[in-house]
Chains A and B, each alone.
Chain A
């Protein structure tokens, strides 16, 4: 039988900070030279022009200044603007671009989130056209928006959010209106579009806008998205700048539009039915296709912040006491500074571990969407070919594929030799079956990245700021950490705040197609733990089993008053379970990324492979322990928290009575003396131990108790991993200075 060596404290560890070669492997683009070049192209813009602008106080004004506007030209030159376009429209990256977009935003957000948002918003404006636009719309707007394709680059803005109380958290309620302004025989109908926007990015300079509106005219059905241009007749009022405390390098205003546009501007086109204009896509269908991709990118912006904090914090910690008369070079206080204190190291390990988990989850999801895009579009094609409309009819068709999809997952999990390979191959070729399997994952991963990375990431950034001491609350803080902390809060809010993501997860994570894949992951983690025992994979697998058991319990049980535990409106149950799932997902993808590094190391592609592997495994172990702890806490509170605590008045069978014990004493000598140690005892006069009530029994939840105990035990070694990672932080070489100004 093969045995695997467990970690010892003398093994090699981190010697330098991970470079691009390591990151490319961890984040899955070592074989994508186009994307590697994009990273190298964006980085000098971020750490050069963007950083200088921040250092020079560019964030001190809400207005769109010339210096901020110059960033657009830099984005153009670095290929960021063209990134969204396919080669036929002047782009340079073939195929889906989720990973590329995510990496570009990551690089910019490493320095400033506003700069990343500025670039992202341009892509967001084009995304509805790219995803659902007609060929003519794609040709027109992609060409105009890509540098080098037209004389002047057209900039776009995406306009969904409206002034209160309209569209925001609930994107179904729109106040923006569209009606038919004129419709001459044989001519294109003309539409009047009225919309007030709120918090609209890029509006300070946008030349066109993709706006969500609802029909106010019986001759036009439902909702749609339309393209508005600044040269359209009517009002194109950019509005005043929003007084944001964050992301000041992006332009945000509250615009007002009252414009007349041709109906050909309806994104995705329209069909005429009985004299009524029926948009081919309603606004919900379009924004779902858009946000399920762009939200991942936002999540990665916060991940960049967390990881960018590591180097400045190490440098600050080490140099904290240098310059003092008493601390000579070579003394521990001079060389290590605050790194002599375990707490500062442990907290930084937590920041780094969370950053790695967030990045791993985000990039794996972005990469997943690159793989999912063709399947997603194939679904559209199949529906189009079959004349199947989106909506209920489409759902009906897909519902018929749920059985095959589940069968496919069951067969896949069985492994070679134990399954019907012919049937598996058949199901693998069925596009709609594959769509359902992947879609179930997409609908979980996207909100998970957005929720966990930005929500938990904001908390982590607070911790990073606290590690910089007083420096951390000044504008001079190296790495712009306090600015990033504030920026992270916006990232947790825009493109759907945390509640929206939790709500989506609470619905999608109970999908049996997702849960079947989740079950596969548990087995996969156990296998990984067998070959990479120091990664915390087993800890995580146990925590996943606990979450899985808890979900089934909540789905099938009621609270003390008989009310269903897991239901849409009971967010006290559903939302914490969504949070818990995100911890698990982030940790899982972190472990999977290390497996990639191990594979590359085996092939000899990594220098100091053992050191990097050991360190990243320790970080993953720390994170798995943190995730397991969080999941345990949440699950325990949900399983027990909705039961009423036993009381002395309604003691039932959970107590022993003194007189009964006395009677039994003659049969079982000593029972009266032992009973208090195994249960609660009530005396004849009703007196009892001074506490809230008899202790809770675990009847019916034995499965939970066993799994919870297992998770607790599985935390074994996680603190040793943290000690090792902390020790590595005291010896790792860092550059002499940060590679961007402060």
Chain B
């Protein structure tokens, strides 16, 4: 079986249980008290990481890197949990993880970091990430990283990836109407932006974590600082939606009826 070099792009987002209140400060928009709020691994990136770890297990000698862009101290806290869930090597970039940073600026930083990974064989490269981010939701970052790295085989909103014995990959992408688009690519390199995938979140296992930390701690220590480009995008205002819709639990309502009700609500 072909060993893969899987690079997962993913970082932290504020814990969704917290009160997330956007504010406009002198350095641009952000979330109130963002640096003090507990954070979690971006759920979309999490799916990508767990799929990567699973794929690597099935393909001996594969390697998995997690490329994370975020404040170093907070990445370190995040690793105390994530490092227990899957085996990977960390590439840390000390920078802002704010969802208000332009996706293009983030993509350039990530692509540069990936380019510099020692021992990475780009012919075996599978670039994984979330099809969106819980903090930005631009849905374009991984695509841009792929473009910058010259990867043109790109699959978006993927729920399943099958690596076949002949080296080819069969990919199921989400498309309209709850259907999948099934594609086959002859093999790596490729970009796979994951939706939810099919795997549950692995439980924490401190023994796995202890093994991972041998490489993660040095990676954190030598994390390079990157200054995000805040000038490439200008926000006039940031606010939570003023209009709130009460959630109702209704059974047996058709999709058309639901869509009509939402459209009516948007129209006001």
Report which A residues bind B (CB closer than 8 A): 15-16, 19-21, 33-34, 36-41, 44, 77-79, 82, 92, 605, 607-608, 733-737, 739
Q: Could you tell me the distance in whole angstroms from the C-beta of B210 to the nearest C-beta in chain A?
A: 5
- In the complex, what's the smallest C-beta–C-beta distance from A223 to chain B, in angstroms? 38
A595 to B217, CA, bound (A): 26
Tell me, rounded to whole Å, the shortest Cβ–Cβ distance linking B16 to chain A: 8
Asked if A33 contacts B80 (CB within 8 A), the reply is: yes
- Selected from B18, B36, B73, B205, the residue in CB contact (under 8 A) with A735 is B18
- CB closest residue in chain B, given A607: B35
B217 and A16 contact, CB distance less than 8 A: no
Given the interface contacts A16-B36, A44-B204, A78-B203, does A37 sit within 8 Å of B80 by beta carbon?
yes
| Closest chain B CB from A26 CB (angstroms) | 15
CA distance A739 to B40 in the complex (A): 13
- Chain B residues with CB under 8 Å of A44's CB are 203-204
Write the nearest CB–CB distance from B266 to chain A, whole angstroms.
22
Is there an interface contact between A21 and B77, defined as CB atoms closer than 8 Å? yes
Q: Is the CB of B77 within 8 A of A77?
A: no
**A605-B38 contact given A37-B204, A40-B204, CB 8 Å threshold:** no
* B18 and A733 contact, CB distance less than 8 A: yes
Assess the B84–A733 pair: CB atoms within 8 A.
no
A-B contact pairs, 19 of them (CB 8 A): A15-B36, A16-B18, A20-B80, A33-B213, A37-B83, A37-B213, A39-B80, A40-B80, A77-B205, A78-B203, A79-B204, A82-B207, A605-B73, A608-B33, A608-B36, A733-B32, A734-B19, A735-B17, A739-B17
> From A77, which residue of chain B is reached at the shortest CB distance?
B203
Q: In the complex the two chains form, is B77's CB within 8 Å of A20's CB?
A: yes
Q: What mask results when residues 19 to 36 of chain B are scored 1 for a CB within 8 Å of chain A, else 0?
A: 100000000000011011
B18 touches A41 (CB 8 A): no
Contact at B80–A21, with CB atoms within 8 Å?
A: no
B206 at the interface (CB under 8 A from A): yes
| B113 → A minimal CB distance (Å) | 23
Q: Is B104 an interface residue (CB 8 A)?
A: no
B84 touches A40 (CB 8 A): yes
Whether A736 contacts B206 by the Cβ 8 Å rule is: no
Residue of A nearest to B20 (CB): A736
With both beta carbons as reference points, the residue of chain B lying nearest to A42 in the complex is identified as B204
Structural contact, A735 and B19, CB atoms closer than 8 A:
yes
List chain A residues, Cβ under 8 A from B36: 15-16, 19, 607-608
Which among B17, B37, B81, B217 is the interface contact of A40 at CB below 8 angstroms?
B81
Interface hub of B33, B83, B217 (most chain A Cβ within 10 A): B33
Give residues in B with beta carbon < 8 Å to A.
15, 17-19, 32-33, 35-38, 73-74, 77, 80-81, 83-84, 203-207, 209-210, 213, 217
Q: Is the CB of B205 within 8 A of A41?
A: yes
Assess whether B37 is in contact with A41, with CB atoms less than 8 Å apart.
no
Known: A20-B80, A21-B74, A33-B213. 6 other contacts (CB 8 A): A15-B33, A15-B36, A37-B213, A40-B81, A79-B205, A733-B19
CB-based contact A92/B207 at 8 Å: yes
Which A residues are in CB contact (< 8 Å) with B19? Answer: 733-736
Contacts A16-B36, A19-B36 given; indicate if A37 touches B77 (C-beta within 8 A).
no
A737 contacts B80, C-beta separation under 8 Å: no
Establish whether residues A736 and B17, one from each chain, have CB atoms under 8 Å apart when the complex forms: yes
- A37 contacts B33, C-beta separation under 8 Å: no
Partner pick for B15 among A15, A34, A607, A735, CB 8 A cutoff: A735
Pick from B32, B38, B80, B203 the residue with the most CB of A within 10 Å.
B80
A residues within 8 A CB of B37? 16, 19, 733
When chains A and B are docked, how far (Å) is the Cα of A40 from the Cα of B217? Answer: 17
- B38 close to A38 (CB less than 8 A): no
Query: Are the C-beta atoms of B17 and A34 separated by less than 8 Å?
Result: no
Contact of A21 among B17, B32, B73, B207 (CB under 8 A): B73
Q: A44-B203, A735-B19, A737-B17 are in contact. Are A37 and B38 (CB under 8 A)?
A: no
* CB nearest to A14 among chain B residues: B36
Cα distance A734–B17 in the bound complex, in angstroms: 9
- Taking CB atoms, residues of chain A closer than 8 Å to B18 are 16, 733, 735-736
B-side contacts of A92, CB under 8 Å: 206-207, 210
Best-surrounded residue of B205, B207, B213 (most CB of chain A within 10 A): B207
Give Cα A736 to B74, complex, Å: 21
> Is the Cβ of B38 less than 8 Å from the Cβ of A19?
yes
Measured CB to CB, the closest approach of chain B to A310, in angstroms, equals: 15
| A36 CA to B206 CA, complexed, in Å | 9
Task: Indicate whether A78 sits within 8 Å of B204 (C-beta atoms), given known contacts A20-B77, A37-B80, A733-B19.
Answer: yes
B32, B33, B204, B209: which has the most chain A beta carbons within 10 Å? B204
| CB contact between B209 and one of A41, A607, A608 (< 8 Å): that residue | A41
Which residues of chain B have C-beta atoms less than 8 A from A608's C-beta? Answer: 33, 35-36
Bound together, the chains give a CA A180 to CA B36 distance in angstroms of 64
Q: How far is the CA of A59 from the CA of B33 in the complex (A)?
A: 38
Given contacts A37-B213, A736-B19, contact A20 B206 (CB under 8 A): no
| CB-nearest residue of chain A to B35 | A607
| A382 and B83 alpha carbons, distance in the complex (Å) | 42
- Cross-chain contact B203 with A34 (CB below 8 angstroms): no
A15 to B36, CA, bound (A): 8
A19, A41, A608 — most chain B CB neighbours (10 Å):
A41
